[in-house]
Amino acid sequence: MAEHYSSFERGGRRWLFQRLTAVFLIGVLAFHFMLLHFVNHAADITFMGTQARMSQVGYFATMWLFLVTATFHGVNGVYNALVNQGLTGSRKNAVKYLLLAAGVLLVLQGTRVSLAMTNLV
Amino acid sequence: MSQSYNRGTVEDFGRWRDFSAGMWAWIFHKFTGWVLVGYLFTHIAVLSTALGTADLYTSTISGLEALLIVRFLEVGLLAVAVFHILNGIRLLMVDLGVGLESQDKSFYASLLLTGAIVVASVPTFLGGALV
């Protein structure tokens, strides 16, 4: 039988969601970089331009999903990396809840910011 | 019960000469992942100026973009993001069992393509800051 090389637990949902968010992020991160560095140069970004983009429902939804999936992928990745380095027991639990809180706060703040950038609401 | 493959400790830097392509890919993917998640938090912090006035948001971004160091950091961020994306595609292929026998070659291809994209992007990133 082949050895289990992954650092994720077998059958865990965290592994699946890490892969699913990766597929989404590959496209959206590349799009984000292209749009805000090559189509629109970062130095030329203004609040008016940002508001015009974020006031399109499709763009707003894509950016909000980008925030949520990137936060999950990043925080879950950090947690997995730490577990992989031998984090166990109560320290593992503490790190889990700390990262969960950081992720939730980031999504909340990102949502506030994205709403402030749009005139959809 | 699943078995774990003993990779040894990454912190044992004396082992680096023995590392295979797959081990380097693993280390680079972790490193670029840490950088990207750190940047994500910083990015939202900077964009939070949108909660103030429109002028504050615009002047914060233009002020940062006027700094040459920020332009170089953006080139670094591009390198990190492109490698993470390309190696991420490679990892998805490995997970699906596609091209396992050439996973080392696909790592080298990820590195080369990252280098080419970054070099080609330098004029765009530094434009306006140097000239």
pLDDT tens sequence across B14-50: 666 677 888 899 999 999 999 999 999 999 999 999 9
The tokens describing A3, both together, are: 């050895």
If one compares A51 and A7, the residue with the highest pLDDT of the two is A51
Confidence bin at B1 (pLDDT 50/70/90)? very low
Residues A54-96: tens digit of each pLDDT:
999 999 999 999 999 999 999 999 999 999 888 999 999 999 9
Residues B75-107: tens digit of each pLDDT:
999 999 999 999 999 999 988 889 888 888 999
Q: Of B36, B37, B65, which is closest to A42 when you measure between CB atoms? A: B65
CB–CB contact A109 B125 (8 Å): no
C-alpha triplet A69, A75, A80: angle, nearest 5°: 120
On chain B, the residues whose CB falls within 8 A of the CB of A117 are 47, 50
> What letter would DSSP give residue A4?
B
In chain B the domains, ranked by start, together with CATH numbers, are 24-126 (1.20.1300.10)
Q: Where are the domains of chain A?
A: 13-116
pLDDT score at B4? 55
- Spacing of C-alpha A87 from chain mean position: 23
CA distance A76 to chain B (A): 10
CA distance A67 to chain B (A): 9
CB–CB contact A29 B81 (8 Å): yes
CB–CB contact A113 B57 (8 Å): no
Q: What is the ipTM of this complex?
A: 0.90
Architecture of domain A13-116: Up-down Bundle (1.20)
Largest interatomic CA distance in chain A: 59
Confidence bin at A1 (pLDDT 50/70/90)? very low
Identity of the amino acid at B32:
T
pLDDT score at A49? 96
Q: Note whether B23 contacts A: Cβ–Cβ < 8 A.
A: no
pLDDT score at A36? 92
Q: Of A4, A5, A29, which is closest to B85 when you measure between CB atoms? A: A29
pLDDT of B130 over the 90 cut: no
